[in-house]
Chains A and B, each alone.
Chain A
């Protein structure tokens, strides 16, 4: 069981506009890879209004939960190029990796960011076995020179984070990915709902849909170009698919009764939906090209919350056919459903990890509702959140974090937890509720 961690620190991002999600990182455990990121040199006329790229980089790596950032105040030197580094200084601080860099003017008003990532510790250890003569043949792992416009500096910094993260962990970075979520604010009796997309750190939000009626269940297409969602703007549930770039949208399902819970097939050709057009909630699949609708369940219980396995072979869904909501699995082309969850009285909203080996769930106990991760092979369920009203889990596309909705002090906030439950961060909107997060896949 996850131990409640103390709020350790608070990283407030720049631009504290009301609409932006602020991030607070909590969790007593930090990553086990010590890294030093030296503030970059700025060879520019004025830094006013320019994104502090090395700071963004440091925050990204810290958020990943994989690194221990060596605090700046311990630094013995502030080099900006590999030639200037005295690696003994960094080794004495226990740094295994070092990032140095500088920003200078590029062509056409752009900025040129040069950075190098060095591996210190491993090479030094290898040296230990040899003669006492200490010669740090420190290895440069990567070195890049990136050109960026002023507006793109933040995005470029995230891209650098991806490069460094991947070089050090062998796992793809998620710092340039995006999230979708729904916000709800009220002015007197008037409610305002917005479907928004932001960078994964909550910055650069933009609104793709506004309504006075609820919006639910955003789901990213596998190419991260479209969002399916449920809107009540016509005072009934309807499913739409919207192109994120152009803003154009299509009405996908507006049958009599419930039209809800859209889920994309991994090839992007089909949507699983929950419809009650036949009088009861059932799972359907809709071929988006032929518009052929296929009924997948036939049961007097509630059948809803379909999710496709990443290999496309099966569809999992939630049903209370046994009396309480539990997760079931059936072949994606139809057939008998088998129950998957047996631990706990309430398991709902399944969401697959990208490798298909585990599922995040809403797990209800007598104390509340938590996010849990189930190992599919063994059926073992591990609670990773603090509760008590946690819902809508969504894996980061590299599987390292799970984003979900929870309740903060009197309002809804988002939280992300590392898949092992160790590192946690909260994304807090300064006004109103934020809910229904969906982490976008890698862009193809």
Chain B
């Protein structure tokens, strides 16, 4: 029942090299109490149908180009897995390169899971997913301080519902640009 997805060579190598990237303790920076987060996280609902970028006709920031892979801001995962499929590796590659070329831009990666299983374990799973995306971004040239990670576990589902269709939408990492 648990589908194993093969690791691509790229991701495999990367997970091995990742190790512990320990940094000092940082306190939560924004004191802004309790606000609604619905704005940033909507991104795209249907990542899998996003087309390839059309060749350089778009004027302006590629982040705003709906045809760019950068417009895909949600990475989806299999059940209890943090492996990144080939499809999403290309998306993350584009984000990594963009961040590498725009050192002033930073992002938050939100790791999420479906509702099954224990809440705290799911915090771990969400963290693992977000870290897997982060490592790939750093590998593509993003700098450590550009990429924040937060795991919400099962606490913030994208779609309410107790079926596999909802679950598949909820097992995700959201890439949130701070601009």
Whether A255 contacts B162 by the Cβ 8 Å rule is: no
Whether B152 contacts A258 by the Cβ 8 Å rule is: no
Interface core residue of B27, B127, B153 (most chain A CB under 10 Å): B127
By a CB distance below 8 angstroms, the chain B residues around A369 are: 116-118
Whether A348 contacts B117 by the Cβ 8 Å rule is: yes
Within 8 Å of chain B (Cβ to Cβ): is A179? no
Within 8 Å of chain B (Cβ to Cβ): is A325? yes
Whether A407 contacts B36 by the Cβ 8 Å rule is: no
Q: Would A190 and B36 be within 8 Å (CB), given that A260-B120, A278-B20 are in contact?
A: yes
By a CB distance below 8 angstroms, the chain B residues around A237 are: 123, 150-151
Within 8 Å of chain B (Cβ to Cβ): is A101? no
Q: How far is the CB of B44 from chain A (nearest CB, A)?
A: 17
Given contacts A237-B150, A302-B125, A305-B121, 6 further A-B contacts (CB under 8 A): A235-B30, A256-B24, A261-B120, A304-B120, A369-B118, A389-B115
Q: How far is the CB of A189 from chain B (nearest CB, A)?
A: 5
Whether B25 contacts A233 by the Cβ 8 Å rule is: no
By a CB distance below 8 angstroms, the chain A residues around B155 are: 214, 216, 232
Nearest to B35 among chain A residues (CB) is: A212
The 8 closest A-B pairs by CB, nearest first: A302-B124, A214-B155, A279-B20, A348-B118, A234-B28, A349-B118, A261-B120, A189-B38
Whether B119 contacts A436 by the Cβ 8 Å rule is: yes
Within 8 Å of chain B (Cβ to Cβ): is A119? no
Q: Mark B20-51, 1 if CB is under 8 A from A, else 0.
A: 11111111101101111110000000000000
Nearest to B37 among chain A residues (CB) is: A235
Within 8 Å of chain A (Cβ to Cβ): is B168? no
Nearest to A277 among chain B residues (CB) is: B25
By a CB distance below 8 angstroms, the chain B residues around A281 are: 123-124, 127-128
* 8 Å CB interface, A228-269 against B: 232-238, 254-258, 260-261
Chain B residues close to A by CB (< 8 Å)? 1, 19-28, 30-31, 33-38, 115-121, 123-125, 127-128, 131, 149-153, 155-156, 162
Bound CA–CA A211/B33 (angstroms)? 9
Within 8 Å of chain B (Cβ to Cβ): is A201? no
Bound CA–CA A124/B27 (angstroms)? 70
Bound CA–CA A362/B146 (angstroms)? 37
Whether A279 contacts B127 by the Cβ 8 Å rule is: no
Q: How far is the CB of A233 from chain B (nearest CB, A)?
A: 5
Bound CA–CA A274/B122 (angstroms)? 12
By a CB distance below 8 angstroms, the chain B residues around A389 are: 115-116, 162
Bound CA–CA A256/B130 (angstroms)? 14
Whether B22 contacts A277 by the Cβ 8 Å rule is: yes
By a CB distance below 8 angstroms, the chain B residues around A305 are: 118, 120-121
Nearest to A258 among chain B residues (CB) is: B127
Q: How far is the CB of A48 from chain B (nearest CB, A)?
A: 41
> Can you list 9 A-B contacts with CB-CB less than 8 angstroms, sorted by A residue number?
A213-B37, A217-B119, A255-B26, A258-B123, A281-B124, A303-B124, A325-B121, A389-B115, A392-B118
Q: How far is the CB of B150 from chain A (nearest CB, A)?
A: 5
Bound CA–CA A304/B128 (angstroms)? 13
Whether B118 contacts A318 by the Cβ 8 Å rule is: yes
Q: How far is the CB of B162 from chain A (nearest CB, A)?
A: 7
User: Could you say which of A235, A274, A364 contacts B124, with CB atoms under 8 Å apart?
Assistant: A274
Q: How far is the CB of A86 from chain B (nearest CB, A)?
A: 56
Bound CA–CA A412/B30 (angstroms)? 31
Nearest to A366 among chain B residues (CB) is: B1
Whether A216 contacts B127 by the Cβ 8 Å rule is: no
Bound CA–CA A203/B121 (angstroms)? 31
Bound CA–CA A277/B37 (angstroms)? 24
* 8 Å CB interface, A308-366 against B: 318, 320, 325, 346, 348-349, 362, 364, 366
* 8 Å CB interface, A95-146 against B: none
By a CB distance below 8 angstroms, the chain B residues around A59 are: none
Q: How far is the CB of B172 from chain A (nearest CB, A)?
A: 16
Q: Would A216 and B30 be within 8 Å (CB), given that A190-B36, A279-B22 are in contact?
A: no
Whether A257 contacts B22 by the Cβ 8 Å rule is: no
By a CB distance below 8 angstroms, the chain B residues around A216 are: 119-120, 123, 153, 155
Nearest to A279 among chain B residues (CB) is: B20
Within 8 Å of chain B (Cβ to Cβ): is A147? no
Whether B124 contacts A362 by the Cβ 8 Å rule is: no
